[in-house]
Structure 1
């Protein structure tokens, strides 16, 4: 599942960094900042791998565009028989 959100006013985010060697099997959720070409691609790959993905964007329009981009790419994969 890919969720896209826009920031709440005055929202502050704190991030923690985890070594992939230590947490490779423990990763269940992924947060992606931005849903442009790169962020959207990262979100899609993670979703295809079965992870829960949250994408953070600067506003509603950017979040909607990013959601559309990932959905369109997944739909193409289904039509081509690469995804079920």
Structure 2
């Protein structure tokens, strides 16, 4: 297995976090998981002294956006069962 130098590994992690962060914005429900993974990959990249701001920001935005979208539906579930629909 080939060992990559730290700068190259950091760049790969930053790119991965950016791609996952962008996907977290557009894929429903799975976007929450992708956003969390994007944030973790961005932190790993930053530990290798590589900027990963885009991945971190899009990861947070995607995660928060889908959580806020999901909350109203979760709150409606009891009302659906009570109304007998």
* TM-score range relative to shorter protein: 0.3 to 0.5
TM-score scaled to structure 2, two decimals?
0.37
Structure having the larger proportion of residues in helix = 2
> Comparing both chains, which one has the higher relative contact order based on Cα–Cα distances under 8 Å and sequence gaps of 6 or more?
1
Q: Give the structure-1-normalised TM-score.
A: 0.37
